[in-house]
Structure 1
């Protein structure tokens, strides 16, 4: 009988998580794994066949009642042989008793429904070079009084409290790494001393990813996108580089803004939960943090 074993992922395995996700066309961030590891060091599982890594999944615990599944990948050569479902079962066992969320690609959504997940909304990736005219119009429509500053200059407790409006459990260690890793830019929109927006951009193998993107309205979101996009290195041959934002379709204003900026849909995943969707400030959620960890 062929030996298939499931165990915790090593640092070298985390490099494979990223490479395999890239092979799937998910465009993970270059340094995402460094933030993921501090979120829940035991939350990443690797399946090995005769000692060789062939499948992976993440099952990250947040607080006492929430968990998130991501990175569910079986390598093409071993698909259809039952290894993926064994890994899935191990991941779900690790999150037993919690509300569990995930972002399911279209091809897998029926399988997730069989495991008790139900769709809450779709995260639609919008990609491209933001149109300057669209940014200017959006900012002028209601961005007065907003100051965009380095988010890392703010007391971290304020950032963490703001993030809790959008996530069901505290995730301070992850958030500190996510906003502070080298090569990233984290910006906050502040009005009269209050945080009214937060955006983080990170380099990826393709378009630079913006996430999270929180904003009190389209003008604030546009101001953040403009400043974040300005940090992206020019594309080969000149011109600004592209950005990508995973936009919840539960926020129609966010979809309208992306269209107005000339960003086009390129990828879609359903946000799904095993129970009622946790409360979140959806009207201010313009881009989710990560499809892998929520």
Structure 2
């Protein structure tokens, strides 16, 4: 049962929307697992800490039946995610009603979202424009050398935040502060001539391990980071990552294969290029 205190009524009888509690989001994470999304073991805690007001549940009476997140990373950029409806309650408008309430949270920020290919037309009607495909790659990784990489240390946080900002609109310091050091997360830096040339994060999940973000100056730098992330894994362990479509050669060269793809869409051009992004952090928070 949801324990949120303030519920926004909607036009649907008995259906209200409220900001999610941690308990609410544990249920949403279970829904995501049932959908095959393979959430990371610490995703919920890191996500909620990034923008506690950006997570919403829609309830029919006291029963949560729908969810969505709209996370404000900074004062100019927000990301839609976690659009879920309990299968028993689909096709009644509960998801759309939850989104309408959540939309106010982002104000006039640029919005990003990831659409399944068959939903692009619907997202277009909501004011989003197609930018590029994002491909989910999975498999047992090819092992390679890990030279020029070091484990992340807290003293590098500000430099990682500044480096990441070149590829993420407006930056995401709060997200990275939690994500880089969450229990079970492995963060690796690529250092070239004393300067940061890439970084990546590997995290455990209920299924295969997940990699993201992975951002680097070049494919060679990205490969070194990837190799360092997977080196400690057991032989035969599988990993997955979401890569912008232009990085398909990178992922395939590491022994991974495409499983499915989504379409990244924006309400306006965010002003950053995807050519340094070899894996996004997550579909849910970008």
TM over 0.5: yes
User: Out of 269, 278, 287, which is 2:279 matched to?
Assistant: 287
Aligned position for 1:159: 160
Structure 1 residue matching 2:153: 3-state secondary structure: helix
Larger RCO, structure (CA 8 Å, separation 6 or more): 1
Mapped partners of 1:62, 1:173: distance in 2: 8
Mapped partners of 1:240, 1:120: distance in 2: 35
Higher deviation after alignment, 75-84 or 93-102: 93-102
* Preserved CA contact (<8 Å) 2:141 2:230: yes
* Preserved CA contact (<8 Å) 2:84 2:95: yes
Mapped partners of 2:273, 2:209: distance in 1: 25
* Unpaired stretches in structure 2, ≥5 consecutive residues: 1-11
Aligned position for 2:250: 257
TM-score w.r.t. length of structure 1? 0.89
How far residue 116 of structure 1 moved from its aligned partner, in angstroms, is: 0.8
User: Out of 228, 239, 242, which is 2:238 matched to?
Assistant: 242
Structure 2 residue matching 1:282: 3-state secondary structure: coil
How far residue 99 of structure 1 moved from its aligned partner, in angstroms, is: 0.9
Aligned position for 2:7: none
Residues 267 and 111 (structure 1), Cα distance of their counterparts in 2 relative to 1, 3 Å cut = same
Aligned position for 1:192: 193
* Preserved CA contact (<8 Å) 1:130 1:261: yes
Structure 2 residue matching 1:266: 3-state secondary structure: strand
**Residues 20-39 of structure 1: pairs in structure 2 closer than 5 A:** 20-39=31-50
Aligned position for 2:130: 119
Aligned position for 2:174: 173
Equivalent residue pairs, number: 275
How far residue 153 of structure 1 moved from its aligned partner, in angstroms, is: 4.8
Aligned position for 1:270: 263
1:50 pairs with 2:51: no
Aligned position for 1:99: 110
Mapped partners of 1:108, 1:30: distance in 2: 28
Mapped partners of 1:99, 1:86: distance in 2: 21
Aligned position for 1:86: 97
How far residue 33 of structure 1 moved from its aligned partner, in angstroms, is: 1.0
Aligned position for 1:109: 120
Residues 151 and 167 (structure 1), Cα distance of their counterparts in 2 relative to 1, 3 Å cut = same
Aligned position for 1:11: 22
How far residue 224 of structure 1 moved from its aligned partner, in angstroms, is: 1.3
* Cα displacement string for residues 91-142 of structure 1 (whole angstroms, at most 9, x for unaligned residues): 222223121001122343222111011111111011111123xx46xx8xxx
TM-score w.r.t. length of structure 2? 0.91
* Unpaired stretches in structure 1, ≥5 consecutive residues: 140-145
Structure 2 residue matching 1:64: 3-state secondary structure: coil
* Preserved CA contact (<8 Å) 1:57 1:69: yes
* Preserved CA contact (<8 Å) 1:69 1:102: yes
Mapped partners of 1:229, 1:31: distance in 2: 19
* Preserved CA contact (<8 Å) 1:2 1:50: no
How far residue 155 of structure 1 moved from its aligned partner, in angstroms, is: 2.6
* Preserved CA contact (<8 Å) 2:169 2:272: yes
